[in-house]
Amino acid sequence: MTKRLSFAAIFGLLAAILVTAPAQSTAAAIQPAAAQTSTAQASAAQIVADLGAGWNLGNQLEANSNGYPSETAWGNPTVTQAMIDKVKAAGFKSIRIPVSYLRAIGAGPNYTVDAAWLNRIQAVVNYAYNRGLNVLINMHGDGYKTIPNAWLICDAANQTEIRAKYQKVWQQVATRFQSYDNRLILESMNENFDGQYGQPTQPCYSNINAYNQIFVDTVRRAGGNNSSRWLLIPGWNTNIDYTAGNYGFVVPTDQYRSSSIPSNERRIMISVHYYSPWDFAGEENGTITQWGRNATNAARKSTWGQEDYLTSQLKLMYDKFVVSGYPVVVGEYGSIDKTSADSTNNRYRADFARAVVSTSKRYGAATFYWDNGVNGQYGFGLFNRSSTAVTQQGIIDAIKGGLAS
């Protein structure tokens, strides 16, 4: 979502000059801890269990300045090993790293991704991967109409060019990571839609389906462990209703996967996000600050989107995908800090996180909390990325409690 441009991030964007993260100076800095050749795979249920508590490194590698990827452009400091170590120490087992490419992609027909940017992506991946964490990387801001130089636009006229560019970029990324084992998951895109918050439109949804199919085919044919790794696929705007309902989503075929995978097993996961009700989770005002059965002030609680709605949404995904062998990943969820309006707000933010995690677990889904690095008013942050200090221990405890329930 475009929540990455909250107030502190907007200030950082306006203040930032173009700062491209430094390229790594040695080959060792951009290599995994050891070459991985194992093709061992977890079952659908096991991969969800293995992912455990997930966390997003938001507003970093998907940030940009004037269309150039720049990890500090939205107000966060350069990502460090110490920061990732603190995330692991807090109990997270998996990290989702949103990535934008934008003007780091060269001209066609080769659409070569800038080597320094690929190196930096790999270095940040290794901060987590080399510590034994699961890592998920995607193509994030390239599909937002609100981002300068975005190009993965489902209702644009130049679909032939878009598909060729998309294929070439994923070919390069998948090749770069081909030796990584199955703790690395690739995600085709993020919240792709026509920019209008309503029911899906055509041919836009058909184009999203086409991108997903290109992604699966390209990654599978890129060599190494790509033929058997788990791939993550979103529907329209990662919306649960528009993915699980009869609105046009098509699960890609997987004809190029390794023959070592039993025919009755999947290696495709379905991606959705959960920020409902939005007036509690993301609306930047102090009106709705409480959530769930423990709310004490009805005027501060939304009239929809409570525990029963959460259950119905995750059950919808379970009935549509999990029972057919496709694990579900709630790749983003969370709620912003409104303690400036209601000092009890963090209690309900923790309740919300615990409920999303525990309900997702019950219905066969893994979860990744959205952290944009912003602390204080309207921030999603769980950590201070400059000091690496934990800022929301209560929410972290709730996430772990939800997994344990």
pLDDT digits (tens, 9 = 90+) for 223-248: 999 999 999 999 999 999 999 999 99
Which band of pLDDT confidence, cut at 50, 70 and 90, is reported for residue 29?
A: low
- What is the full DSSP assignment across 366-385? EEEE---S--STT---SB-T
pLDDT for position 253: 97
pLDDT in the model for residue 11:
31
Total count of residues recorded for the chain: 405
pLDDT at 368: 98
341 has pLDDT over 50? yes
Q: Global pTM?
A: 0.91
pLDDT tens digits, 250-302: 999 999 999 999 988 999 999 999 999 999 999 999 999 999 999 999 999 99
Contact (CB, 8 A) for 388 and 83:
yes
pLDDT of 126 > 50? The answer is: yes
State how beta strands 268-274 and 53-56 pair.
unpaired
What's the pLDDT tens digit per position in 194-229?
A: 999 999 999 999 999 999 999 999 999 999 999 999
When pLDDT is cut at 50, 70 and 90, the band that residue 25 belongs to is very low
Block residue for tokens 């934990």: 390
Nearest C-alpha neighbor of 276 from the set 235, 330, 199: 330
Instruction: Return phi, psi of residue 332, to 5°.
Output: -150, 140
Domains and CATH numbers, the chain: 2-404 (3.20.20.80)
Burial of 237 (0-12, 13-18, 19+ CB in 10 A): buried
Distance in angstroms between the alpha carbons of the first and the last residue of the chain: 29
State the average pLDDT for the chain: 91
b/e 89-105 (16+ beta carbons within 10 angstroms → b):
ebebbbbbbbbbbbbbb
Instruction: Tell me the angle at which helices 81-89 and 115-129 cross, rounded to the nearest 10 degrees.
Output: 30
pLDDT in tens, 44-72: 899 999 999 999 999 999 999 999 999 99
Least Cα distance to 271 among 51, 81, 108, 5 occurs for: 51
> Quick check: 38 pLDDT over 60?
no
In this prediction, residue 42 carries a pLDDT of 59
pLDDT at 397: 98
Q: Above 70 in pLDDT, residue 34?
A: no
Coil, strand, or helix at residue 388?
A: coil
Strands 268-274 and 231-234: parallel
Residue 22, pLDDT > 60, answer no
The whole-number pLDDT of residue 88 equals 98
User: ∠ CA(54), CA(60), CA(63), 5° rounding?
Assistant: 130
49 Cβ contact list (under 8 Å, min separation 6): none
Tokens encoding 146: 């609100």
Tell me the pLDDT band of 24, cut-offs 50, 70 and 90. very low
- The catalytic residue positions are 191, 332
Dihedral through CA 248, CA 278, CA 59, CA 194, nearest 10? 30
Residue owning tokens 């209690």: 347
**CB of 39 closer than 8 Å to CB of 353:** no
Looking at residue 372, what is its pLDDT? 98
The predicted model gives 324-330 an average pLDDT of 97
Question: Is the pLDDT score of 146 beyond 70?
Answer: yes
Residue 293: both structure tokens together: 């059965």
pLDDT higher than threshold 70 for residue 395: yes
